[in-house]
Chains A and B, each alone.
Chain A
Amino acid sequence: MNTTVPTGPLTKKDFESDQDVRWCPGCGDYMVLAAVQKLLPSLGIARENFVFLSGIGCSSRFPYYMNTYGMHSIHGRAPAIACGLKLARPELSVWVVTGDGDALAIGGNHFIHAMRRNIDVKIILLNNGIYGLTKGQYSPTSEQGKKTKSTPMGSIDRPFNPVALALGAGASFVARTVDNDLAHMSQVLARAAAHKGTAFIEVLQNCMVFNDGAYRAITDKTTRDDARLVLEHGKAMVFGKEKDRAIRLCGFEPQVVHLGKTPVAPSELLVHDERAPHVTLAWLLAQLQGPQFPLPLGIFRAVVEATHDELNTQLHEQARASKGQRDLQHLLGSGDTWTIEPSAARSAAWL
């Protein structure tokens, strides 16, 4: 590892490790790495206070390429390790980089509990909709009908929607971005970094080798403006190359309206509110997808709630205030304890 200690203000270079990046040429992961390395120097946090944790998968090679502390840990368990680390060292900036297999298949349980606990860690899920590292089997986010090596006649499983899953599990910050839009990804990552609590970011990421073009509609220059809805807090949900379409609600049903063709008052258009205390709007947006609807990108939800690490610290302080400073020996010798007499132990051995 590069051991030079930076003296002046940190730069992107300070966060680049000396390891050769071993993702396939053209992989979307490179963009996420570049965006994260570019963001970190702006956060005003010392380099030694960053930690990047991962599980298993292509995405999970991320910590090798960061010149920070990190751990390429157990498959699906990076959120658990992150929670433990944040409780032990609350002053650290803890990041998890995971994939659709790592977070949503083997790690599904850890993922949802990290969301509900609202511990102050950032979780980036690189969603390529396939198992890339094992050479192309369907993943929990592969669409129905997808033909892969393990689903030769097409997948019959309904996919997870990671944004909806995170919202359902109670996440306080949920966002979605896309690998080839560095500007948008950088904005979303900066917001996630500033959030207190679990910040979940789904990055739609192209796998050149095993799932190329999975997100073409929203990444291709010619189609993306019509296929994506960029969410902006406090603004009406207008989209399209000509900004001529919008979303409105008819009861609980979202509808796409053509602004030039349908007479529609501005007040009828759905306005984004990422701070809505109730999850309903974010949940509804999470259901939108093509071809009927544009796919929403941006911050679905960003609400301030007590974090697990803050509550844990308070709990410790309360315990110390009411019971005084105790040690482990005191705990082991307190409460419901008993002593086994040597003679009794011998009798027991006989029996």
Chain B
Amino acid sequence: MALMINEICVNCAACEPECPNGAISAGDPVYVIDPDKCTECVGYFAESQCIDVCPVECIVPNPQRVETREQLQRKFEQLLTADS
């Protein structure tokens, strides 16, 4: 499933540059993850980079976007195709 940022976020932006999909941006009141772009880093890394770097542990699975690893892999491939 895609990830999301909850209200514990302090707007420190540590996650933004780590996202290989460019899914993270500043929002109001806290940073947001675009679920259409988030693959939990499937295709790039073994671990979700934003979760690894977040100092306040505010990045959690998005219950609105339940996806299997295979679906995330397909999303990754689609994003690559869209980019190229």
Contacts and interface: CB of A to CB of B under 8 A. Distances in A.
Interface of A is mostly: loop
Interface centre among B12, B13, B56 (most CB of A within 10 A): B12
25 contacts: A12-B28, A21-B12, A21-B13, A25-B12, A25-B13, A25-B14, A25-B53, A25-B54, A25-B55, A26-B10, A26-B12, A26-B14, A26-B54, A26-B55, A26-B56, A27-B10, A28-B10, A30-B11, A30-B13, A31-B10, A33-B11, A34-B29, A182-B29, A208-B55, A208-B56
Interface in A17-36: 21, 23-28, 30-31, 33-34
Interface of A: 12, 21, 23-28, 30-31, 33-34, 38, 179-180, 182, 208
Contacts of B29: 34, 38, 182
A180 B10 contact: yes
A30 B28 contact: no
A27 B12 contact: yes
Residue of B28, B29, B53 ringed by the most chain A CB atoms within 10 A: B29
Interface of B: 8, 10-14, 28-30, 53-56
B14 A31 contact: no
Nearest to A16: B26
A5 B69 CA distance: 47
Give the interface centre of A33, A179, A182, A208 by most chain B CB atoms within 10 Å: A182
Nearest to B13: A21
A101 B12 CA distance: 23
A23 B12 contact: yes
B53 to A, nearest CB: 7
A44 B43 CA distance: 48
Contacts of A23: 12
A180 B8 CA distance: 7
Contacts of A30: 10-13
Nearest to A205: B10
A27 B30 CA distance: 14
